[in-house]
A and B are shown apart, each in its own frame.
Chain A
Amino acid sequence: MTHAYIAGVGNTAFGRLEGLGTLDLMAKAAKQALADAQLKRSDIDGVLCGYSTTMPHLMISTLFCERFSLRPNYAHGMQLGGATGAAMLMLARELVISGRCKNVLVVAGENRLSGQTRDSSIQTLAQVGHADFEVPNGASVPAYYGLMASRYMHETGVTNADLAEFAVLMRNNAIRHPDSHLTTPITIEDVLASKPIAEPLRLMDCCPISDGAMALIVSAQPSGALKVRMAGAGQAHLHQHLTAMRDVMDCGAARASAIAFKEAGLSVADIDYLGIYDSFTITLLMLLEELGFAARGGAAQRLRKGDYGQHGVLPLNTHGGLLSFGHCGVAGGMAHSVEAYRQFQGQAGVRQVRTPSHAFIHADGGVMSSHVSLILSREA
């Protein structure tokens, strides 16, 4: 049976990258990923590209291929909100396992901070809320997450101080990565005192908007010092809008991970590295708990114990996550996988953890609407 491996990664810094457009950013990350995988342009026979709100082109993948001088025999763009990156990696894995492709480039980039117009941000907002039942109320993206957080905190007893722990951990991680957007040290008190956005969420519970790009190559042949196999993947999609989320204790995350674990023949206990989507602090905490990497209401306790730290039993988002490495759309959600790969390869510098055996990656799109889980395993 053919397996799929991650064979190389690349990225730009995240932050304000004035003057660079979507394709410029994508090209920088893709070039680095090609070099990392030691592949030539002619080796790439599949290309998957994430959407860009600043460049809503009909055919972003082939637009990119023409410019970057690629001539694949499989290509298209994909849209699944924050889960797009993980969903592209899952599809790339399917394409390799089926024999359709040998080397799939997965790339996304966006100048979401410096290139965003007011019109496009309103358009994006309109798509996150329900056009008839939610948006007319003056609801914002943080408002949907604030509503969700209020219910989750009501049911589990999670506090604002618990949420703040995750903002601080992500910042401390980002400080150790040279390409991070936000690197000013913060404390729990700073998070709790930051200005209210949509109660219970405050400014530092929310990720920033950044410019940046990420790229990975999924291949039938491993590359690098260590073989990183994509051992399992799964998805679940239970609702689109917040009002239609039936149960905050069953948003779809665990359903997606169950499929991935079954496919990999592994369980939660086998995992020793985590890359978990963190658009807001509540996103990260809820996902950790639903996925079984903490008891309900117990994620902050594990964090305080040091379990999610660089030298803990479950290092978490060692690059700093969306909360502090930054969020530029699709690429923001790919950074977790890029970092996991570098941790496997021993390339994480001062952030390096004990070489992982099995990494678990999870991303969600919308308001915990679309879930994608990936399991990456070190192969002997």
Chain B
Amino acid sequence: MTLEQTPLALAQPFIDGLVNNEIRFQYCNACGAAQTFAHDACQHCGAEDLGWKKSSGHGTVYAATIVARAPSDAFRALAPYTLVVVELQEGARIMGHAVPGVRIGDRVVASFFVHQGQTLIRFEK
């Protein structure tokens, strides 16, 4: 009896990208729309032919907060920390950390850091 190979998680290309210090985003082969998150079908046209691309890491801050109260022990040592939603140049939105002081509308570029064994995005000005 052979075990079936574990299927790849939908967001696995994104997770693997972080380990390689790059942001990968899903896009539609039919209409070209960049996707926020990973989907089974294009959020714009509904086509199921989706692929992954590497982002330049450049984007614009869409929303920003400073988390004073961390939700878990793992993040308590980092608090207060800045979280942002960035609209990447390619059109997808992504959540990440950011250097203190970034504001909505700032042009930023992604860098990466490892926190408790996990690679996370930190946007810099």
Contact = CB atoms under 8 A, between A and B. Distances in A.
Asked if A pairs with B, the answer is yes
Interface of A: 122, 125, 130, 132-134, 136-143, 146-151, 154, 195-201, 241-244
Given A137-B97, A138-B70, A244-B36, A147 B63 contact: yes
B41 to A, nearest CB: 14
Contacts, number: 99
- What class of interface size applies to chain B in its complex with A? 35 or more
Interface in B57-79: 62-72, 74-75, 78
Given A136-B120, A241-B37, A150 B64 contact: yes
B38 interface: yes
Given A200-B65, A243-B95, 20 more contacts: A136-B118, A137-B96, A137-B97, A138-B70, A139-B83, A140-B71, A147-B64, A147-B83, A147-B84, A150-B64, A150-B104, A151-B104, A154-B104, A198-B66, A199-B68, A241-B37, A242-B85, A243-B85, A243-B94, A244-B93
Contacts of A130: 37
A137 B83 contact: yes
B112 interface: no
Given A147-B85, A151-B63, A197 B96 contact: no
Contacts of A195: 68
A139 B98 CA distance: 13
Nearest to B11: A132
B104 A133 contact: no
B81 interface: yes
Chain A to chain B: the 7 pairs with minimum beta-carbon distance, closest first: A138-B75, A146-B65, A140-B71, A132-B11, A199-B66, A147-B63, A151-B63
6 contacts: A133-B11, A133-B94, A146-B67, A199-B66, A200-B65, A244-B36
Contacts of B36: 243-244
Contacts of A143: 65, 67, 71, 83
Nearest to B10: A132
A243 B93 contact: yes
